[in-house]
Structure 1
Amino acid sequence: MKEIKVSEEFLNRMKDLLGEEEYKAYLKSFEEKRLYGLRTNGLKITPEEFAEKAIFCLKPVTWIKNGFYYEGEDRPAKDSYYYAGLYYLQEPSAMTPASLLPVVPGDKVLDLCAAPGGKSTELGARLKGKGILVSNDISNSRAKALLKNLELWGIENICVTSEEPGKLKNVIGEFFDKILVDAPCSGEGMFRKDADMVKSYKEHGPEYYAVIQKEILKQAADMLVPGGFLLYSTCTFSVCENEDVIDWILKENEQMELVSLPLFEGASSGIGLSGCLRLFPHKIKGEGHFMALLKKKESHMEKEVVSQKETSKASPIPGDLSSFLSLVSKPLDYSRIRIKESAVYYLPEYFPEKAKGLRYLRTGLLLGEMKKDRFEPSQAFAMALRQQEFKQTLSWERQDERVLRYLKGETIFLKEEEGPVKGWCLVCVDGFPLGFAKGTGASLKNKYYPGWRWQG
């Protein structure tokens, strides 16, 4: 058995939590091989299409319709399809919270503790470009990784912030239809997978995190509109951080009520609080997780309708930007284009313009940059397009060596039958966009973003 370097107190608590027989099964799970998972991007490909194209040995995650297991020997982060944003690498149990929050296109959604983006990418994909996703993480450095993952997935209707939840609440107020709180926790459910979680646990245990979790959950509830849903999750087993926190918010805020989550094979109900969901590594093929779905009771008062008309005046469109946009057949509402200094943004629907003073990393889709009178499109814009939505494209097969050379930032020389290519070109792999290049005739000047380049 893999040695568990944690306190006797933790082991005794797990024995009390599970009972003698289940506790033995839990300890035995440490002998099993670590599981690896990926989740497909519903904005770009269906699970069925991906399974047909995949070069990995895949097995479905039974409770996640777009989730797959892959073998540890595979290297999916080195595949060009990863750079096309077709999938996200994520532990299978961690896919569950976002799948259970009932997000529909047009919702105003908040992922409050979002980095590095595993749950936000799923929430954003399910919005299908409608409504708004605000993804927040208090750590600015982690929020940068979050932004990259959202842009890699081609999610256009985003705002990425790096703020304390209390400040978001004070500035934005009661605004969101759906909120995900994947709370910071002691990480007991990840001990089997991540030794660093064991080290962290020795510094801060469940009681330390429970105080933080209650405060975050209270602030999140205040940002939820009446009738809205909030999904609370942790990757820990402690009742103190899970059922006790939910019980506390139900008593603290009489507007909140618990909505029962459906059980699936291998899942367990909450301990002492039915309707919650627990995942244990000895019962499912994944790590430990807890989830509870809350709803804010409907108000008798009339709901405030947030209209796009509340947004500020649209920016005038410079000539070269207009010329570039004429190459794009993707439907764009030009009234939502803003130019700040040299950066050109496409704001989401219902962008909270009143929310000034927040630390934003991104407000909407970054279309590109005005360099004097010349417009240069962004990597994020390329990822938000489909091949058929740009006038001039080149698509190479996955095994074409030029795909890798493009991802490394090299100049690409075209075959005779492919040229000449002049002006902006969208480069694709098997029809999935990777980024922009600029044709000079028989070659392509590489415009792939340096910070995203393939590292061999």
Structure 2
Amino acid sequence: MLPVEFKNRMKDLLGDEDYERFIEAFEADNRYHALRLNTLKAREEFIDKLECVTEQVPWEETGYYYSADFAPGKHPYHEAGLYYIQEPSAMAPVHFLDPKPGEKILDLCAAPGGKSTQIACKLEGKGLLITNEINKDRAKILSLNIERLGISNAMVLNETSEHLADYFYGYFDKILVDAPCSGEGMFRKNDNAADEWSVDNVLLCAERQAEILDNAAAMLVPGGTLIYSTCTFSREENEDNIEAFLNRHNDFKCELTKRLFPHEVKGEGHFLCVLKRDGENISVKNGYVPGGRIVPARKEQVKILDDFLRETFTKDAIDRLFDGKVIFMFGDQMYAAPKDMPSFEGLKVLRPGLHLGTLKKDRFEPSHALALFSKPEDVKLSYEIASDDDNIKQYLNGQTLRVSRTGNKGWCLITTDGYSIGWAKEAGGMLKNHYPKGLRINY
């Protein structure tokens, strides 16, 4: 049930004719489901494997609508990180952000990770993505999605926008602010959002959004692009907020505003605005790295990693993995990150790059993230299980698998239909399962 006051506000916003179409869209409950391919892993022909796909999302070339009777979150392809389930309208802001390989980009309000993973795909593993979420529990979900899609050039933070503005002043080429909002555009998806709606909450959200926008502006280089988006309809949170922002920041101009209404597009409600900062983008020229550079791991630590890599990976894969990367320790965990990744000292960090694994005394144990980042051709030992084979369900459930081959020993990359999904330790015709306990699925 839509709140009466909300309906009156929408009638004022849309006018009589569009308002009737808007209400009809809600009453029809004609929701659309979509997923976006992870182009960091999924090959071009992968889409042909998904018989559930109906058509392409108009504003995202890797986004596809799928039939309502398909449950993509329960398929092994999901655990392999081959796609991200994302509301179709929510794919639009990154289209207008237009990330390019090599850029430094901030996703300021990022959980659960749809837009961050979309940005990462467009960066193609080059450049730097800082992805942040102020809520700790949601930041953990964000971190898991960055891992699941095999992203190697992202740092996941759990910070306030104010602290980040002090730390990353004038640093990013592009910034996305998908601001926390009153959620009016999600009323069809979430009944609780409508029940919790009030004008007071709209105004409270607008006040919080203004603060976030100001902090984002401080982190953008001259000539940079800032995308502001919400999943709400209210003018206070959208056009009014942008107008007030431009009055406070005369070095910014608005290049485009766009609204997506559920009676006009195959998706939920969304608003976005493209803001451009005056000046020439000089971030590449000045070489500025906030807080200094990351301290590399010690030689004896790298030696343990190197021994594991030589046993497990091909030379070409090792070169690919560490091209342009720095290896460093985060506690007893080893990571690889772009060489210009800023220091994380003084920041609440959940994931500072690609998690390689754990140093345990004189041995190295690879991470799940390294498995999902790797390709079958990267490793010396792999084991293929078809996505429709019961064995893949047993593997995802954490069970040890018996294999017919013998003589192989060591870390083995498990793949499904040619895509990596996790590790096992092979010996004596057995695959000891190393799929993370927290991710195991009971089918």
Which residue of 176, 185, 188 corresponds with 2:184? 188
Which residue of 419, 424, 437 corresponds with 1:450? 437
Q: In structure 2, the residue corresponding to 1:201 is in which secondary structure?
A: coil
Alignment pair present for 1:435 and 2:419: no
Amino acid at match of 2:272: M
Q: In structure 1, the residue corresponding to 2:36 is in which secondary structure?
A: strand
Q: How does 1:296-335 map to 2 (within 5 A)?
A: 296-299=277-280, 303-306=285-288, 311-315=293-297, 316=299, 317-326=301-310, 327-328=312-313, 329-330=317-318, 331=320, 332-333=322-323
Give the Å deviation of 1:296: 1.3
Question: Whole-Å Cα distance in 1 between the matches of residues 113 and 369 of structure 2?
Answer: 15
After superposition, give the CA deviation of every residue in 1:134-178 in whole Å (9 maximum; x if it has no partner): 110100000000000010000011111111100011122111111
Q: In structure 2, the residue corresponding to 1:245 is in which secondary structure?
A: helix
CA contact (8 A) 2:324 2:339 kept: no
Question: Whole-Å Cα distance in 2 between the matches of residues 435 and 141 of structure 1?
Answer: 24
Residue of structure 2 in register with 1:11 after alignment: 7
Give the Å deviation of 1:198: 0.9
Q: In structure 2, the residue corresponding to 1:159 is in which secondary structure?
A: strand
Amino acid at match of 1:40: L
Amino acid at match of 1:140: K
After superposition, give the CA deviation of every residue in 1:214-252 in whole Å (9 maximum; x if it has no partner): 110010010001111111000011111111111111111
Residue of structure 2 in register with 1:272 after alignment: none
Give the Å deviation of 1:67: 1.1
Q: How does 1:396-435 map to 2 (within 5 A)?
A: 396-415=385-404, 418-435=405-422
Give the Å deviation of 1:335: 6.2
CA contact (8 A) 2:101 2:124 kept: yes
After superposition, give the CA deviation of every residue in 1:295-315 in whole Å (9 maximum; x if it has no partner): 111159895224799524421
Question: Whole-Å Cα distance in 2 between the matches of residues 391 and 203 of structure 1?
Answer: 60
Q: How does 1:204-353 map to 2 (within 5 A)?
A: 204-259=200-255, 275-299=256-280, 303-306=285-288, 311-315=293-297, 316=299, 317-326=301-310, 327-328=312-313, 329-330=317-318, 331=320, 332-333=322-323, 336-353=326-343
Residue of structure 1 in register with 2:21 after alignment: 25
Deviates more, 1:293-302 or 1:317-326: 293-302
Percent identity between matched residues is 43
CA distance 1:389–1:382, change in 2 (3 Å): same
Q: Which runs of 5+ in 2 are unaligned?
A: none
Amino acid at match of 1:359: K
Amino acid at match of 2:307: S
Q: In structure 1, the residue corresponding to 2:383 is in which secondary structure?
A: strand
Give the Å deviation of 1:320: 3.2
CA contact (8 A) 2:325 2:338 kept: no
Q: In structure 1, the residue corresponding to 2:21 is in which secondary structure?
A: helix
Question: Whole-Å Cα distance in 1 between the matches of residues 309 and 246 of structure 2?
Answer: 50
Alignment pair present for 1:40 and 2:37: yes
Alignment pair present for 1:67 and 2:99: no
Give the Å deviation of 1:70: 1.6
Alignment pair present for 1:388 and 2:377: yes
Question: Whole-Å Cα distance in 2 between the matches of residues 440 and 292 of structure 1?
Answer: 56
Q: Which runs of 5+ in 1 are unaligned?
A: 260-274
Give the Å deviation of 1:205: 2.9
TM-score (norm 2): 0.93
CA distance 1:422–1:5, change in 2 (3 Å): same
CA contact (8 A) 1:172 1:352 kept: no
Residue of structure 2 in register with 1:266 after alignment: none
CA distance 1:162–1:203, change in 2 (3 Å): farther
Question: Whole-Å Cα distance in 1 between the matches of residues 331 and 338 of structure 2?
Answer: 19
CA contact (8 A) 1:419 1:441 kept: yes
Question: Whole-Å Cα distance in 1 between the matches of residues 156 and 132 of structure 2?
Answer: 6
CA contact (8 A) 1:314 1:335 kept: no
Question: Whole-Å Cα distance in 1 between the matches of residues 101 and 267 of structure 2?
Answer: 29
Deviates more, 1:29-38 or 1:149-158: 29-38
After superposition, give the CA deviation of every residue in 1:46-90 in whole Å (9 maximum; x if it has no partner): 5x5232111424322222211111222211111111111011111
Which residue of 333, 347, 356 corresponds with 2:345? 356
CA distance 1:222–1:290, change in 2 (3 Å): same
Amino acid at match of 1:127: L
Question: Whole-Å Cα distance in 1 between the matches of residues 31 and 101 of structure 2?
Answer: 35
How many pairs does the alignment contain? 433
Question: Whole-Å Cα distance in 2 between the matches of residues 453 and 102 of structure 1?
Answer: 36
TM-score (norm 1): 0.91
CA contact (8 A) 1:424 1:437 kept: yes
Question: Whole-Å Cα distance in 2 between the matches of residues 131 and 308 of structure 1?
Answer: 15
Which residue of 131, 151, 175 corresponds with 2:171? 175
